[in-house]
Amino acid sequence: MHRIAVCPGTYDPVTFGHIDVIERASRLFDEVVVSVTTGSFKKMPMFDAQERIAFVEASVAHLPNVRVEGFNTLITEHARSLGASVMVKGLRAISDFDYEFQMAQLNRHLAAEIETVYLPASPQYSFVSSSGVREVAAWGGSVDDWVPAFVAEALRARRPRGVGSVP
């Protein structure tokens, strides 16, 4: 049986924590589709969908059973369209679990045939979030330990003028 898993997210931007979860999922499933949301009701992403997809593609190019797709629908509908039976979510802290558990229950109601599997963050990435990375980068801090070099460079290029500089 060919087991397909989706790893959905905004990936704004992709971090080493995301990549770690994707790599680990790629060892558990026959095929992993990293599903990058191209629309969001929650927030306006820093990077547009094509940039985020390209960042993720470059970050997972070494994984032969992983591909990247954009989606702009309910994740359950997207997963069904791919023939996926599993959604993989990374968890950094108990606060992530609270939100993800609620989402898993909603998704289970919408698509009972699709299971949600949680992978705990590796310790070195347990504090890394995309929003935290964006904030550190906006203030001129180094994010090189948390994101691929090309993402760090893109964040530096997006840094607002005057932010984080000494008057």
Per-residue pLDDT tens for 99-128? 999 999 999 999 999 999 999 999 999 999
Tens digits of per-residue pLDDT, 42-74? Answer: 678 999 999 999 999 999 999 999 999 999 999
**Portion of the chain with pLDDT greater than 90, in percent:** 87
Catalytic residue among 2, 27, 42, 43: 42
130 catalytically annotated: yes
Mean predicted lDDT score pLDDT of the chain: 93
18 catalytically annotated: yes
Residues 6+ apart with CB under 8 A from 59: 14, 18, 19, 22, 148, 151
Catalytic residue among 18, 52, 89, 134: 18
For residue 165, give both structure tokens.
């500089």
Report the alpha-carbon angle 84-88-94, nearest 5. 150
For residue 103, give both structure tokens.
């989402």
For residue 28, give both structure tokens.
């558990």
Task: Give the confidence band of 162 by pLDDT, cuts at 50, 70, 90.
Answer: low
89 catalytically annotated: no
- The DSSP output letter for 124 is G
pLDDT at 44: 85
Dist. CA 61–CA 166, nearest whole Å: 39
Q: Average pLDDT of 87-104?
A: 92
Q: Average pLDDT of 14-26?
A: 98
Compute CA 45 distance to the chain's CA centroid, rounded to the nearest angstrom.
13
Residue ranges and CATH numbers for the domains of the chain are 4-125 (3.40.50.620)
Dist. CA 41–CA 18, nearest whole Å: 21
Catalytic residue among 80, 92, 108, 158: 92
Q: pTM for this structure?
A: 0.92
3 catalytically annotated: no
Task: Give the confidence band of 166 by pLDDT, cuts at 50, 70, 90.
Answer: very low
For residue 149, give both structure tokens.
């070099």
